[in-house]
Amino acid sequence: MQILDGKIASAAIKEKLKLIVEKRKAENKKTPHLAVIIVGNDGASETYVSSKVKTSEELGFGSTLVRMDADIPEALLLDQIKTFNDSIDIDGILVQLPLPKHISEARVIEAIDPAKDVDGFHPVSAGRLVQGLETFVPATPYGIMLMLEHFGVETTGKHAVVIGRSNIVGRPMSILLSSQHPFGNCTVTVCHSKTKDLASFTRQADIVVAALGKPEFLKADMVKDGAVVIDVGITRVPDATKKKGFAIKGDVAFEEVAPKTSWITPVPGGVGLMTIGALMMNTLKACERKD
Ligand code: GUN
């Protein structure tokens, strides 16, 4: 068993990005600038947003963070997006999800200029991904692809089972793994909450991507020997022994599954670390397109 270490792979990406930004600055080219909007004060969203802003700064990117109250009218959020769409300096726009119930996520995502859609959630970005066209790939599946590439994990001809069909992870992941790409070319099965006898699919999988958000769902008897297991889960589970009062749990029962695998991602320290690097890659791409 080998660990797909997010610390190692994300450090390599960040180092590469840092050098590219330094070179751009030396050549008087534009510095990539990410704008992030957070609505309300959900604890997990706060953590993600602050690490996105912190990483932007570490890499020499510009960053703007706008906080809005949980009860703001949707129209005000749409106005803020329009301001960022119209700003020459802002290259990428990210509205942290989930949003409060009274705001339509679909309308908000569609309001973002597809040229600045560094989350890759806009229907234009999703449609381009399906058609194999140049686009912004959502950060989590993109980060997983970068991780497979970093560690040289063979994917061509393998059977990948993706558990979860969200627009953020499962659906784009299934498209990437099946696409014509050196780390794609898989035969992909998508499983979800209505799948009958899900374990009968995961047991056939050479690669399992668990993205359903149920702590320690994937057990050893659901995985075949030598499989590659990618854990996308990051659920906060109450834990009085931790300083913060919670522990982060993945969707994979790591202790029992790991010995059966060829490669496995830990939680924390796996996929989560890759997503920010992938977001920064997208922000750089948005900026480079303007050159
Ligand atoms: N919430 C959880 N993951 C994401 C993400 O990748 N982007 C945004 N905008 N919100 C999220």
Express each pLDDT in 251-291 by its tens digit. 999 999 999 999 999 999 999 999 999 999 999 999 999 98
Which atom from ligand 1 is nearest to the alpha carbon of 275?
6
User: What's the pLDDT at 231?
Assistant: 98
Task: Identify whether 96 is a catalytic site residue.
Answer: yes
Q: Which residues contact 267 (CB under 8 A, 6 or more apart)?
A: 231, 233, 234, 248, 249, 250, 252, 254
User: What's the pLDDT at 78?
Assistant: 98
Nearest Cα residue to atom 8 of ligand 1: 96
Give the CA dihedral 219, 220, 222, 226, nearest 10 degrees.
Answer: 140
The residue annotated as part of the active site, out of 14, 52, 116, 249, is 52
Nearest Cα residue to atom 3 of ligand 1: 97
List of domains in the chain? 27-113 (3.40.50.10860), 139-272 (3.40.50.720)
Average confidence score pLDDT of the chain: 97
Q: Is the CB of 94 under 6 A from ligand 1?
A: yes
Q: CB-hemisphere CA count at 13 Å for 95?
A: 29
User: What's the pLDDT at 145?
Assistant: 98
Q: In which residue are the tokens 């590439």 written?
A: 149
Task: Identify whether 52 is a catalytic site residue.
Answer: yes
Q: In which residue are the tokens 């020459």 written?
A: 88
DSSP state of 126: H
Q: What angle do CA 212, 214, 219 make, to 5 degrees?
A: 100
**pLDDT-derived band at 49, boundaries 50, 70, 90:** very high
Q: Do residues 178 and 157 make contact, with C-beta atoms less than 8 angstroms apart?
A: no
User: What's the pLDDT at 95?
Assistant: 98
Q: What is the mean pLDDT of residues 57-69?
A: 97
Q: Compute the residue count for the chain.
A: 291
Instruction: Report the phi/psi class of residue 152: left, alpha or beta, with left for phi > 0 and alpha for psi in -120 to 50.
Output: left
pLDDT in tens, 151-164: 999 999 999 999 99
CB atoms within 10 A of CB 191: 25
212 three-state secondary structure: coil
Q: Report CA 33 to chain centroid distance, whole Å.
A: 19
User: In the sheet where 2-3 sits, what is the strand order?
Assistant: 2-3, 263-264, 228-231, 207-210, 159-163, 187-191
Q: Is the CB of 111 under 6 A from ligand 1?
A: no
User: What's the pLDDT at 273?
Assistant: 96
Specify the DSSP element, H or E, that contains 8. helix 6-26
The residue annotated as part of the active site, out of 91, 119, 206, 231, is 119
The residue annotated as part of the active site, out of 96, 116, 206, 231, is 96
